[in-house]
Amino acid sequence: MKTSLIIKYLVLGVINSLYIFSIPLAISIEAWFLLSILSVGIILINYTYLSSKRIHLKFLTPGILVMIAFVIFPAFFNFYVSLTNWQTGHILNKNQAIQRIEERTFVDDSLKNIEFDIFVFIDSDENLFFLADIDDNNKLFGQAFMNLENLDSNNYAKNDLTLFSNGVPQPPSNLRELKGKELIAISKQLEDLSLAVDQTTIIKLKTISVFGNSKGYFLANEKKYSYDEKNDLLYDNELDTYCKTDLKIGNFICNDNEIFPGWRVFVGTTNYFSLFENTNITGTLKIVTYWTFAFAFLSLIFCFSLGLGLTLLLNKNNLKFKLLYKTIYILPYAIPGFVSVFVWRGLLSPEIGPINEIFEPFYNLLGIDPPKWFITKNASRAAILLVNTWLGFPYMFLITTGALQSIPNELIEAANIDGASKFKIFTKITFPLLMVSISPLLIGAFAYNFNNFTLIYLLTGGGPAIPGSLVPAGWTDILISFTYSIAISGGRGNMFGLASAVTVIIFGIVLLISAISFKYSKRLESVYGNL
């Protein structure tokens, strides 16, 4: 057998083994969508590479798999999340939530709020022991353990009144009491240790004292909740009552209170309707949406106009130092974006920024106050557009320079011979042909600015705040940063379902605009492609 075939079958064997290994893991976490994607992928791989005839697929399959992994799967998963209640408190599946709930314990009323002196001892093997001085009749002593699951009665604390003499602990002679700095040095270790009183009750170290006695407390290890799988009900052992199971919200309900954690459930279009039915969100959402479109379009226009203008200025054969000018113009593109943003934030500082200081005589001449960058609505939006233009024009300069050089000189020369003016040549020949070449790139630039979270987050943080808004939002927030505010940083936990719903809407908007733009680009190609 050829070496190449051996390697092929070995690789296929490893891939199939990994898939088989992933099946129980995916089932255990109920990752059905992921399992479906993996199944499609493994079928495609085996169908393609176990045959010597499907040569075309052997070249296409890697690209298809990459597209599934990095484009299709994230998009569909995001859509799936938007149809669920996936948020803080509802991140786990039902089995995982039940497991977490059943781990809870409760303290018997008779043991609550009891605090007592506790002493720590160590033997020659560095085993630690606790001596708890509960009261006159209860002085519990024994070895402290981290794992209490396998302990029996031989390991439980012993009640021995002879361990004290005149209030002073008298442990066995092979033990030494730890005090002061020695206790502090192992405080982290002591937090994980417990003294078993019986099968359900333990003693924990509460506080460590350097000068006095350390304190301990009881912790009953009784299960708070038990799950009745047959009836799908949760039983509260402490209150001796059953809890309801609400499958619509993914929670157990006890005494009208939701028990957390809950679990993920399908909620359909609830997240989408909440964006438009909740009046607290809708009004602010309109403001943010309008500004998002304005920001994306104005950023595109400013960057493109400045980049194209500089390109036309340098498009002269006899211009000296042309290379130097080009290098200077692309410098903002060479500097990391976040660095430029922080530099501009310092330059535009209303209090100490050099921009306002430089233009102060101009402001005085006009009798106006300096712009309050990052403080007022219009000044903040102007700052965002200014900085984004600075960051974006070098890219437009580069692509327009390349596109301009691709326009045949014969067309320009023919127009000159016919007596056409420079303006007419630019509007009728140069600009249309330029748009044919760069319109797809302009669409990409618009989509990028539509979701330019980094600039908004680093420069203004979305502020200043919109007065009267009942949701966290600012005048410079765009849809993606607004989504972050209401769904993640709004103080209500991580609302991934709501965030995904907004993301799907943003995707739909960008897709619609891109489709219209591509249709217009095709029309331009059909009109000017044969020139």
Closest C-alpha among 91, 486, 463 to residue 275: 486
pLDDT of amino acid 137: 79
Give me the pLDDT at residue 296, please: 94
For residue 510, give the amino acid letter.
V
Domain ranges of the chain: 3-82, 105-223, 275-528
Distance between CA atoms of residues 488 and 482, nearest Å = 10
Q: What's the pLDDT at 165?
A: 66
Top-level class of domain 275-528 = mainly alpha
Strand runs labelled E in 374-427? none
For residue 525, the model assigns a pLDDT of 59
CATH architecture of the domain covering 3-82: Up-down Bundle (1.20)
Paired residues of 214 in beta bridges: 118
Residue 363 CA to residue 352 CA, distance in Å, equals: 16
CA–CA separation, 495 vs 484, rounded Å? 9
Let me know: does 163 contact 170? Beta carbons within 8 Å.
yes
State the Cα–Cα distance between residues 384 and 306, nearest whole angstrom. 16
Distances (CA, A) of 483 to 44, 91, 249, 360, 530: 37, 19, 22, 38, 45
Q: How far apart are CA 466 and CA 477, in angstroms?
A: 10
pLDDT tens-digit readout, 206-258 = 888 877 788 998 887 678 899 998 889 999 988 889 999 999 999 999 988 89
Q: How far is CA 115 from CA 97, 133, 134, 211, 217, in A?
A: 33, 10, 8, 18, 5
Q: How many separate helices (H) and strands (E) can be counted in the chain?
A: 21, 17
Same fold, 3-82 and 275-528: no
Threshold 0.85, pTM exceeds? no
Check whether the bond before 371 is cis (ω within 30° of 0). Answer: no
Encoded amino acid at 399, one letter: I
Q: Which DSSP state fits 185? A: H
DSSP state letter for 350: T
What pLDDT, on a 0 to 100 scale, did the predictor assign at position 475? 94
| 443, 518 Cβ separation under 8 angstroms | yes
Q: Are strands 194-196 and 201-207 parallel, antiparallel or unpaired?
A: antiparallel
pLDDT tens for the chain, residues 1 to 531 = 578 778 888 888 888 888 888 888 888 777 777 888 888 888 888 888 887 777 777 788 888 888 888 888 888 889 999 999 998 889 898 989 999 998 888 777 777 778 898 999 999 899 999 999 888 778 889 999 988 878 888 889 888 656 666 666 777 778 888 888 888 888 889 988 999 988 878 888 888 887 778 899 888 767 889 999 888 999 998 888 999 999 999 999 998 889 999 999 999 999 888 888 877 778 888 899 999 999 999 999 999 999 999 988 888 777 788 778 888 888 887 888 888 999 999 999 888 889 888 888 888 888 888 889 999 999 999 999 999 999 999 999 999 988 888 888 788 888 888 788 888 888 888 888 888 888 888 888 998 999 899 999 999 989 898 887 777 789 999 999 988 887 776 555 678 888 888 889 888 888 888 788 777 766 665 655 555
Q: How many Cβ atoms sit within 10 Å of the Cβ of residue 374?
A: 20
Give the tokens for residue 90.
Answer: 């509802």
For residue 379, the model assigns a pLDDT of 94
Q: What residues contact 478, with CB distance under 8 A and at least 6 apart?
A: 288, 291, 292, 295, 296, 450, 451, 452, 453, 456
Q: How many angstroms separate the first and last alpha carbons of the chain? A: 58
What's the confidence (pLDDT) of residue 44?
A: 86
